[in-house]
Structure 1
């Protein structure tokens, strides 16, 4: 499968589902049961599709194994790009390249790993076609049993590296599929990859939940002025710098749940919004942050973000006032300066624009959004729409607009599913103990998968209130998860391969765990859950 290129958004991604379907259809099991193979459209032209393969046993109970088949770009391989999807040849080529020159620390580690024979390179091999392969191996083993208990449904999805449209479309279709196949879905195993820079003891892991991701933005509206008359305006950059200082890597903004602390928030983009050079201070500065959480709801995070931005703006305006008063005092023309700013949510900005420009203004914004719909840059699209809406609203600074600049990935944890979650955890941990003994290895239990993944939408039914708030404050509708009613809810864990440097040129998979231990672990975990009537 690694040899089948499937970069997100490419024709290869669109073609992959058909190739995987044909591969499964050619197996002895599905040759006689073609009705248990299915593809369902997800998005795009040509259509990206989800592939579903069902191995039946006794009863209705079902465990779902899920993995994505899209990959990030191969561009960072440079001249080795033609080999990016050929693991054996790429590994040899990387060894030759690194052996022939001085290496930095990351490169030296990669060379040692690849020369050891324990690791294999290849775009998407680690993230995460080896996980899909392990799921297929577990499915085939289950299908070979004479009288297996329960059912295993394997699903392979596109678009995880972009907006998880594959998993979200599968989630939306799964209630009808479960009804059609008469399945009671009792749990899921996500097969995504993890990273470990050590001996693998951290990478061989079960994750009981997945981190939540927010992308809050601050669109700062200043008062532009000629650079020679700084105090005739209000510096958007000064306000933005205080916001940056208050948020960037601030560990006080981390939260804790189940004994684990979330990563600190970081800024993904900060820039003034203008085109070309001029001796005028910028009217607008845009900032977008990545804020991962273990417990915050959308409402809580937006409220926290607003408080931080409000305090930062007050600090900035007070500082500019003090600077200006000292300046004019030096000139012998003392005066008192005072600035008052305002914070608006995107929803409030939209309401203001409608009151100022009516439906014509909203129609122009809708037309702009349509024009930008093919962009693969969520931050640029959001920035353009907010800037246009600020103009339509006639908003003068100082002010800051806040909202969400890209798709929200909900925090999920099996604890929220009560007894169903505890039963799944019990069976998974029991399976892990057997695997440790059988393979003489160790497997860690962790609370939150730190990589943003499909797990946020796998078995998760979003809260209605959260969906509404996100919809009102996310400028681009394509980045709103508009989940339908009637979704299934069931506990999910992540058990996947491990390696190092995924998404990078030196991305490499630990082969013994991925090819020998992981398929056995997934099979053991799934069958124990299915055999336990309370799981």
Structure 2
């Protein structure tokens, strides 16, 4: 029988540590190199030596690649897609131990020499010997290691089912890897006549609250969208403050109405979406002068369950109108007190309406060129470019000021929920029973994974046109950011997330529970997939 490389606890642990050691922080050379190394690793599996065409490196962006590995049984059409990401966040928080952040065994030993530096919970876990520390151990290279173990064994034992291993870059930033993977998954499906039966992610267990030690599986993933606003006032000299009006003044009213509002909140059974929180608030004045700041940028994080981009924009516009009304009333009272005339009335303008106005004023070709030039030459990421595009249009249409111009900044993660699917209900019950019988482990089901993940880009089912509201109100749409909504709708299969238990993702104390990672989760995943064979 073929010798297998990753089937024992020790070998799986060694594989994880090797994957972690390949530093792959988002937007670095390590992230670009990682899929080539993983590709070479998978080439050691005899099945892929016989079928090298079933391994593929696919372009993402900025010279990054995603990787797919297809194990296809000659008599099977039923196919499970195993999804993971290989990028990690940065490591500055490790301080003088940063050189060991990607060396789990050495880092765990080094931390034993300085336990007094750790929070109580992390110190207790370290001393227990039950955890392996390091960047990417939990989030989420263990998920990739588990999928590599599964596909190796399935190929060696000729399981009568098809598996597609998909691992992508950029999940920690904008999920460009998964968005680029969507058309490739469709190509694989058509070329090999695959019946996508399940999209199975390997993201780790995320705590529902601080100190939570329960084990979870997930039958969906939460949505995330970022309502944003460019606040445009009117410039003036500080010696004549009411000859204009600062953007900061008007921005404060919108912040007050948006921050922590419950108007976006959704509930599903016992679960609720977190309330909105600000991700950015700053004026756009680049240097000190006695001219007042007259443009400001605001951005919020909003989580969703059932609401689409159209629903969120409608609520956002409602909140912005309340803020504008209060701001206008307050501003009018100040002007009356100071015996001056207001410079104008604050209005709320959707980005799509601003574009229409600009096209009527300058012509469609001129506005298109204006927007493309900003996107092409502006520095910064998609969020920076979004604000700069809106700012450019408002500078050319200052007669609309003062205004809240409301729009979306990337990224957007649509919510997905497969809890009502029979296959997911059966899978949930199966895992819960197996975990109890084999390990006396209680596994709890969560309807929406709360860590945001790439499952958002499959099984898209919005029939109410929400995607059009996103496209029309996202300044960088089709320039530096797109979502393949129509293609996503072709990937119709339930979603499920089964991963190892860990703690403190994106923190210096990120760590992976050893028994969960190398004993319990491998057993449960194999049992689950073989149950469908």
Question: TM-score, normalising length from structure 1?
Answer: 0.89
C-alpha contact (below 8 Å) 1:171/1:487 kept by paired residues? no
For 2:437 and 2:206, how far apart are their aligned partners in 1?
Answer: 23
For 2:75 and 2:438, how far apart are their aligned partners in 1?
Answer: 27
1:323 equivalent to 2:327? Answer no
For 2:249 and 2:67, how far apart are their aligned partners in 1?
Answer: 48
For 1:55 and 1:514, how far apart are their aligned partners in 2?
Answer: 26
1:521 equivalent to 2:524? Answer yes
C-alpha contact (below 8 Å) 2:248/2:294 kept by paired residues? no
Q: What does residue range 345-364 of structure 1 map to in structure 2 within 5 Å?
A: 345-358=350-363, 359-364=365-370
For 1:431 and 1:491, how far apart are their aligned partners in 2?
Answer: 16
Once the 2 structures are TM-superposed, how far is the Cα of residue 509 of structure 1 from its aligned partner?
1.1
Q: Match for residue 392 of structure 1? A: 396
For 1:318 and 1:388, how far apart are their aligned partners in 2?
Answer: 28
For 1:449 and 1:352, how far apart are their aligned partners in 2?
Answer: 41
SS in 2 for 1:402: strand
Compared with structure 1, are the counterparts of its residues 98 and 424 closer, same or farther at alpha carbon in structure 2 (3 Å cutoff)? Answer: same
Deviates more, 1:336-345 or 1:516-525: 336-345
SS in 1 for 2:151: helix
SS in 2 for 1:88: helix
For 1:11 and 1:433, how far apart are their aligned partners in 2?
Answer: 44
Q: Match for residue 414 of structure 1? A: 418
Q: Match for residue 434 of structure 1? A: 434
Q: 2:123 aligns with which of 111, 115, 135?
A: 111
SS in 1 for 2:412: coil
C-alpha contact (below 8 Å) 1:201/1:442 kept by paired residues? no
C-alpha contact (below 8 Å) 1:225/1:281 kept by paired residues? yes
Q: Match for residue 75 of structure 1? A: 92
1:25 equivalent to 2:28? Answer no
For 1:481 and 1:380, how far apart are their aligned partners in 2?
Answer: 18
For 1:463 and 1:318, how far apart are their aligned partners in 2?
Answer: 40
Query: How big is each residue's C-alpha offset from its partner over 1:187-241, in whole Å with a ceiling of 9 and x where there is no partner?
Result: 1111112333777643x21111111111011111112233343333334222211
Q: Match for residue 63 of structure 1? A: 80
For 1:482 and 1:155, how far apart are their aligned partners in 2?
Answer: 17
Once the 2 structures are TM-superposed, how far is the Cα of residue 126 of structure 1 from its aligned partner?
0.8
SS in 1 for 2:238: coil
1:458 equivalent to 2:470? Answer no
Q: Match for residue 229 of structure 2? A: 218
For 2:359 and 2:194, how far apart are their aligned partners in 1?
Answer: 48
Q: Match for residue 14 of structure 2? A: none
For 1:166 and 1:40, how far apart are their aligned partners in 2?
Answer: 9
Q: 1:510 aligns with which of 510, 513, 530?
A: 513
For 1:260 and 1:69, how far apart are their aligned partners in 2?
Answer: 29
Compared with structure 1, are the counterparts of its residues 395 and 130 closer, same or farther at alpha carbon in structure 2 (3 Å cutoff)? Answer: farther
SS in 2 for 1:369: helix
SS in 2 for 1:523: helix
1:130 equivalent to 2:142? Answer yes
For 1:317 and 1:248, how far apart are their aligned partners in 2?
Answer: 19
For 1:395 and 1:276, how far apart are their aligned partners in 2?
Answer: 25
Q: 1:341 aligns with which of 339, 346, 349?
A: 346
For 1:351 and 1:264, how far apart are their aligned partners in 2?
Answer: 32
Question: TM-score, normalising length from structure 2?
Answer: 0.90
Once the 2 structures are TM-superposed, how far is the Cα of residue 255 of structure 1 from its aligned partner?
1.3
Once the 2 structures are TM-superposed, how far is the Cα of residue 468 of structure 1 from its aligned partner?
2.2
Return 5+ residue gaps in structure 1 as ranges.
329-334
C-alpha contact (below 8 Å) 2:77/2:161 kept by paired residues? yes
Q: Match for residue 188 of structure 1? A: 199
Q: 1:274 aligns with which of 285, 305, 309?
A: 285
For 1:466 and 1:363, how far apart are their aligned partners in 2?
Answer: 27
Compared with structure 1, are the counterparts of its residues 348 and 320 closer, same or farther at alpha carbon in structure 2 (3 Å cutoff)? Answer: same
Compared with structure 1, are the counterparts of its residues 200 and 54 closer, same or farther at alpha carbon in structure 2 (3 Å cutoff)? Answer: farther
SS in 2 for 1:112: helix
Aligned residues: 510
Once the 2 structures are TM-superposed, how far is the Cα of residue 279 of structure 1 from its aligned partner?
2.6
Once the 2 structures are TM-superposed, how far is the Cα of residue 402 of structure 1 from its aligned partner?
0.4
Compared with structure 1, are the counterparts of its residues 200 and 304 closer, same or farther at alpha carbon in structure 2 (3 Å cutoff)? Answer: closer
Q: Match for residue 331 of structure 1? A: none
SS in 2 for 1:306: helix
Once the 2 structures are TM-superposed, how far is the Cα of residue 9 of structure 1 from its aligned partner?
1.6
Q: What does residue range 103-182 of structure 1 map to in structure 2 within 5 Å?
A: 103=117, 107-145=119-157, 148-182=159-193
Return 5+ residue gaps in structure 2 as ranges.
1-18
Deviates more, 1:479-488 or 1:113-122: 479-488
Once the 2 structures are TM-superposed, how far is the Cα of residue 344 of structure 1 from its aligned partner?
1.1
Q: What does residue range 221-236 of structure 1 map to in structure 2 within 5 Å?
A: 221-236=232-247
1:12 equivalent to 2:12? Answer no
C-alpha contact (below 8 Å) 1:200/1:498 kept by paired residues? no
SS in 1 for 2:413: coil
For 1:192 and 1:167, how far apart are their aligned partners in 2?
Answer: 14
Once the 2 structures are TM-superposed, how far is the Cα of residue 296 of structure 1 from its aligned partner?
1.2
